[in-house]
A and B are shown apart, each in its own frame.
Chain A
Amino acid sequence: MTNEDLQNIITGLGTDLEFTTEGSEFLNVIVPKEQLHSLCSQLKSNPKLKFDYAFCITGIDWVPALGVIYHLNSTELKHEIVVKVMVDDRENPTLDSVHDIWQTADFHELEIFDFFGIKFNNHPKLRRLFLTPEWEGYPLRKDYVDEANMIIK
């Protein structure tokens, strides 16, 4: 399916969705965080889309907002899109978990929580996965400073 066809179908799945293909090989869908879970579950269940394979989930720090990027693939229909979601609150960023849609999100969300501090609602057990429980700060954020262990240019 071409990106235009995908865009036409996905437009009807939510409100205020933004689409772009600029600077990317995939169709990018930017979704408001309130609609993340409902859009994702429809992306998987819609018979014309069937995005059943989340092959990459990335946390990112777009200063000042934080965000998550979902790379999705349909193993049956062979098309791919990218879903992006942003959260402005740096103190207490919260998004809905999508682990009930793609179970791989369980671990990837733990990794994002560990390094970016984004909390996921309804995650089965949100915890520090790589770092120790008492670790302060979130190392992959752009404003993280660790004078002992980082070479700051």
Chain B
Amino acid sequence: MTDQEVQNKIKTEEYFINMGPQHPAAHGVLRLILTIDGEIIKNVEPDLGYIHRSIEKMCERDSYQQIVHLTDRMDYLSSHINNEAVCLAVEKGLEIEVSERVKVIRTIIDELTRIASHCLWWGVMGMDLGALTTYFYAFRDREMINDIFEETCGARLTMNYNVPGGLMFDIHPNFVKRTKDFIAHFKTKIPEYNLLLTDNVIFHKRTKGVGIITKEDAISFGVSGPVARASGFSSDVRKHHPYSAYDRVDFKEILFTEGDTFARYQVRMMELWESVSIIEQLIDNIPEGETKAATKAVIKLPKGEFYQRVETARGELGVYINSTGNKNPYRVKFRSPGFSNLSILNHISKDVLIADLVATMASFDFVIPDIDR
């Protein structure tokens, strides 16, 4: 008998196993029901809703200003970008043009948020694969960004800095200096990250050729963000539907074609450089101007439908607002990147090892409240 025949013969009985809801690799309460044959995965069925708060239903009850504060509880690592999505949608409905100053500040903080999010992802990706040091490196640098946020808007994570029409208040006098200090510091740290993990041969063996997504599948499953770009699907909202100040900055959309876990890793690592470059282009040229356009105390959007998408650290976040002209929206839908990205997990996890599923999930960078909403 050949090896393959022996392997076929010693098949074990398939059985179910729960991965989660309390599993360290899920980074939150995600339950995956795995059907496994020995250590080979046959089927992955996600079971969601452990932290579902029905934000969409709450939005139907709240005013437009209040909705903004719910959104940073979705993808809490992209809180500023989520807030911005709702603000842009409301501004679109009211036909308000925010000042140049607001656009530039929003863009700078968007990119700082993206760096902070990618730092956290890099730290925990290493940790998921058994490299604990990455976590401490990443959190050391992410801390500096959180301090900048804390000084400017009083919060480190759920920032609530955007309001419909602009910003809640102007930036702190130290903001520009501290951001520049951080950029100078961080540019010396990305090479360090690469030395520690990117060039590690064990890391290559765990990630190369694992969890491959083809471009056709990425489009069909509605995958977005770094996961899609690693498969060659050009989906960057900042490029295709520019908002805020993205139309005037020069940056590359990072595209890979391999579609494996290592390609997803490389996309994010190179996006760090692009984010640094965007901030450098804007930080010395923040225009003077109003930080908030005048809005009425009670915002009523005209009758109609408003759709706004933004690029969060995880991908395309869409906000659909259906208004009947009242002070509350009739229906709000958040098209969250995590939910669509999760839908492809079963498709790419058939006949792989459980350990490879952990590596794949780490490269997807799931934030569970973003999936559950």
Contacts and interface: CB of A to CB of B under 8 A. Distances in A.
A111 B52 CA distance: 12
A103 B303 contact: no
Given A24-B305, A26-B307, A107-B342, A56 B335 contact: yes
A114 to B, nearest CB: 8
Given A25-B307, A139-B54, A103 B220 contact: yes
A129 B333 CA distance: 17
Interface stretch (A3-11, A29-37, A47-55): A47-55
A87 B36 CA distance: 40
A129 B220 contact: no
Interface in A74-130: 75, 78, 82, 102-104, 106-108, 111, 115, 129-130
A94 B56 CA distance: 23
B372 interface: yes
Contacts, number: 84
Interface in B37-92: 47-49, 52, 54, 56-57, 61
B331 A60 contact: yes
Given A22-B304, A130-B48, A103 B343 contact: yes
Contacts of A75: 219, 233-235
B318 interface: yes
Contacts of A56: 307, 318, 320, 333, 335
A13 to B, nearest CB: 20
Interface in B108-130: none
A23 B222 contact: no
A107 B61 contact: no
A136 B195 CA distance: 54
Contact of A103 (B240, B306, B347): B347
Contact of B49 (A82, A108, A130, A151): A130
B221 interface: yes
A153 B66 CA distance: 15
B219 A107 contact: no
A26 B48 CA distance: 32
Given A25-B307, A55-B335, A104-B340, A140 B56 contact: yes
Given A60-B331, A106-B343, A53 B219 contact: yes
A22 B305 CA distance: 9
B20 interface: no
A71 B233 CA distance: 18
- Identify the interface centre among B222, B306, B335: most chain A CB within 10 Å of its CB: B222
A52 B61 contact: no
Interface residues of B, number: 39
A24 B321 CA distance: 10
B302 A129 contact: no
Nearest to A28: B305
A131 interface: yes
Give chain A's interface secondary structure class. Answer: loop
A67 B49 CA distance: 23
A97 B54 CA distance: 24
B217 interface: yes
A23 B323 CA distance: 10
A132 B52 CA distance: 12
B49 A129 contact: yes
- Identify the interface centre among A58, A115, A151: most chain B CB within 10 Å of its CB: A58
Nearest to A58: B333
Nearest to B304: A23
A41 to B, nearest CB: 13
B316 interface: yes
Interface in B155-179: none
B343 A104 contact: yes
Contacts of A107: 339-340, 342-343
Contacts of B360: none
A120 B233 CA distance: 29
B312 interface: no
A69 B307 CA distance: 12
Contacts of A139: 54, 57
B343 A71 contact: no
Interface in B291-327: 302-307, 309, 316, 318, 320, 322
Contacts of A151: 61
Given A104-B343, A111-B339, 20 more contacts: A23-B304, A52-B220, A54-B222, A55-B224, A55-B309, A55-B318, A56-B320, A56-B333, A58-B320, A58-B331, A58-B335, A69-B320, A102-B220, A103-B222, A115-B56, A129-B47, A130-B52, A132-B49, A140-B56, A153-B61
